[in-house]
Structures are given as C-alpha cells and as structure tokens.
Structure 1
Amino acid sequence: MKTVYQTTVKAVGGRDGQVSSEDGVLTLDVRVPQSMGGPAGSFTNPEQLFAAGYAACFDSALNLVARQQKLKINSTVSATVGLQMTDPTNFNLAVELAVQIEGTDKATAQALLEKAHATCPYSKAIHNNVQVNLQLID
C-alpha cells in the first residue's frame, strides 16, 4: 500500500490544551465545551475537529464517486458529532451526515451517498465502531 499523504498533529493538555500541526498551519486552543462545564469563549473541541474532518473527507469521496460516474454535482455535507456517555467513565461517538446533492435525481443522489459512505476513509475507519446516520436532504 502506498501512503499518498500523512501529517502529524500534537495535542498538549487534552481537552484543556492546544493542538498544533507539524507544519504550523493548524494551531488551536482546545477546551471542554461550555455545555459540559467548560469555559465560554472561542475554543474548539475534539468533536468539532472530527466533524470538520469527516465532513470534508465525505464531501471529497462523494465528488470522487460522482466523477467516476461522469456526473457533475454540487454538494454540501454537514457532520454532527455527538459525545455520548454510557457511564461516568465510558464515552462513545455518534455521527449524523446531512448531505445535499444538486445536479441529479433523488435515486441517483441516494446511490452516490451510499457509495461515498463505502469509499470515504473516515467512514471506513469507524465502520462498526460508531453509529453513522446518513441523511439525504433536499
């Protein structure tokens, strides 16, 4: 297998720290969300970062499968990532991908959505580990 890209991001301080990429492009303060007792302010958290990466990756996979079928589409992917607590020391993620696809009929859009889910590296990485709900929106 050939690695076509890799990167390294360092985290210091966990949910009350900072993340930074090796190339310096990404440097963010990370805090516990206010809804979980964290401070108010302009901070990110691991769930937001995962949602951003998953949405971008899924949209790329969607456009790849459309191009492979010689279809020209416009798409938007919104990823909602939830942190679920099963007991005080056990947490899980749940994901909802709301996908809008313009430029094709609904049946073709649904088929593209499912093919993208089978193609996206994020989807494959969390397959059978994280509940992912796919929603095709008008």
Structure 2
Amino acid sequence: MSEKYRTEASNGDGGAGISSVTGGLSVAVASPLNPDRDPAASNPEQLLALAWATCLNATARVFVDRERRSAVRVEVELHDAAEGPGYEFHVDAYLSVEGADNAETERVLAQAHARCPVSKLLKDAATVRVHVEEYAVS
C-alpha cells in the first residue's frame, strides 16, 4: 500500500488549550464537562462528529447520482464507560439521499460505510451505529 496523504496533529494541553495540525489549523479545545469552558472552543466529540460526517458523506457522493444531494449528520454522546473507569463515546451517523427511498439510501449507506476510512476505524465499536433517514433541505 502506498501512502496517499499524511498529516499530524498535536495537543500539549489536554482538554483545555490548543490542538494543532502541523503547518495548518489550530483549534481551541475545552472539555464539555468543564462548566467554565470557553463556549467557542471545540472538543473531541465535535471533532469526531465533523470527521465522520465529512468522510462518510464524501464517500456516499461516489454512489449517488450527481443531480441529487446527500447529507450526513453525526451525533456523539459522552457516557460513563460501561466497563472500567472513564468515559466512552456513543456515536450515531444518519445518511439521507435526496429523492431516494429507504432501500436505495440503505444501499448507499452500506457502500459508503464499507469504504469510508473513518467508518473503517469505528465499525467494530459496540457503541457506533449507522442509520438512514429522509432527506430534508437544510
């Protein structure tokens, strides 16, 4: 396998400070559990939702006619871990395709979920699910 792209991100402050992509984006981060957090700062939950929504929809576009649109929304919840200390993410992705019935949307979702790199990372997690929903203009 040949490398197609590489990036690197770093964080030296934990849940309060800055996370940065080498040579690019810097994002203020704050724990969603901190009552004094900066409301403009992001957090891992939001960044995971953005990454998967972007990747899954970009991949779905490969399987959808160019005349139609698709949309993905991702919900990420932080829960106490079911086993052991700490927390865990519960993640749900919802795909919709303009003008498609549930069967066609399910087909697109299955194809996109099998091909999307973020989906491949998440697919075996017990707290990750994918769904179809009716397309709505936003």
Whether these two folds match at TM > 0.5 is: yes
Match of 1:119 among 115, 124, 129: 115
Counterpart AA for 1:109? T
The alpha-carbon deviation at position 30 of structure 1 amounts to 0.5
- Mapped partners of 1:130, 1:74: distance in 2: 30
Which residue is equivalent to 2:9? 9
User: Residues 32 and 38 of structure 1 are in contact (CA less than 8 Å); yes or no, is this contact kept in structure 2?
Assistant: no
The alpha-carbon deviation at position 103 of structure 1 amounts to 3.7
The alpha-carbon deviation at position 130 of structure 1 amounts to 4.6
Structure 1 residue ranges without an equivalent (≥5): none
Which residue is equivalent to 1:31? 30
Which residue is equivalent to 1:21? 21
User: Residues 58 and 77 of structure 1 are in contact (CA less than 8 Å); yes or no, is this contact kept in structure 2?
Assistant: yes
Match of 2:59 among 57, 61, 65: 61
- Mapped partners of 1:77, 1:106: distance in 2: 15
- Mapped partners of 2:112, 2:19: distance in 1: 29
Which residue is equivalent to 2:88? 92
- Mapped partners of 1:123, 1:130: distance in 2: 13
The structure 1 segments of at least 4 consecutive aligned residues displaced by more than 4 Å after TM superposition are: none
Which residue is equivalent to 2:71? 76
Aligned-partner SS, 2:110: helix
> 1:14-62, CA deviations, whole angstroms, 9 ceiling, x for partnerless residues?
11121111122x11111111x5534252110011011101100000111
More strand by share: 1
The alpha-carbon deviation at position 102 of structure 1 amounts to 0.6
CA RMSD, 1 decimal: 1.9
Counterpart AA for 2:113? H
The alpha-carbon deviation at position 84 of structure 1 amounts to 1.6
User: Residues 51 and 81 of structure 1 are in contact (CA less than 8 Å); yes or no, is this contact kept in structure 2?
Assistant: yes
- Mapped partners of 1:108, 1:100: distance in 2: 10
| Residues paired across the two proteins, number | 132
When normalised by structure 1's length, the TM-score is 0.85
The alpha-carbon deviation at position 115 of structure 1 amounts to 1.2
- Mapped partners of 1:45, 1:52: distance in 2: 11
